[in-house]
Amino acid sequence: MCQARYLLAIGLLILASCEKNPVTIASSDVRSPDGQWIATAHNDQYSGPGNAGLYVFVSLYRTAGLKDTMHVLSLDVGEQSPPIAVRMVWLSNSHLEIQYREPATIEFQVIKGAGIEISLRDSIISR
């Protein structure tokens, strides 16, 4: 009986620690020069047993018409602190450059979608 209570208590603690995932700890947006697209980046922190880490996600969405979000980049930055710096620069109406600071593991990358070219560059961004 006593063991069942301990197992129940441990299970509830594990469940409670996983409820608030992920937590966005930083985010930024940048609009394309023609105003038709917005690129958004956010650093999400996951916690809990077996899934702790920081991830950076970059997405695009239109400002008019269909508002579907197009996921274009995922970076796994481990448990690095402070969050990884990401800078998004529109080089033209149809070309987004994403700059990031090492170390990071590229988990997912789109190079072109919906007529938008997406380039990725690891660079030294001031901390």
Q: Which is higher by pLDDT, 45 or 115?
A: 115
11 domain residue, yes or no: no
Res. 44 pLDDT band, cuts 50 70 90: confident
Using DSSP's 3-state secondary structure scheme, residue 13 falls into helix
> What per-residue confidence (pLDDT) applies to 127?
47
6 domain residue, yes or no: no
> What per-residue confidence (pLDDT) applies to 110?
94
Q: Note down the domain range covering 80.
A: 21-122
> What per-residue confidence (pLDDT) applies to 14?
65
12 domain residue, yes or no: no
Res. 107 pLDDT band, cuts 50 70 90: very high
Angstrom distances, CA of residue 61 to CA of 38, 54, 69, 76, 101 = 6, 23, 5, 22, 24
Res. 99 pLDDT band, cuts 50 70 90: very high
> What per-residue confidence (pLDDT) applies to 17?
58
Q: Which of 9-18, 25-34, 71-80, 115-124 has the highest mean pLDDT?
A: 25-34
89 domain residue, yes or no: yes
Angstrom distances, CA of residue 63 to CA of 34, 72, 119 = 10, 17, 21
Spatial CB neighbours of 3, under 8 Å, sequence gap ≥ 6: none
Q: Note if the bond before 103 is cis, omega within 30 degrees.
A: yes
How many separate domains does the chain show?
A: 1
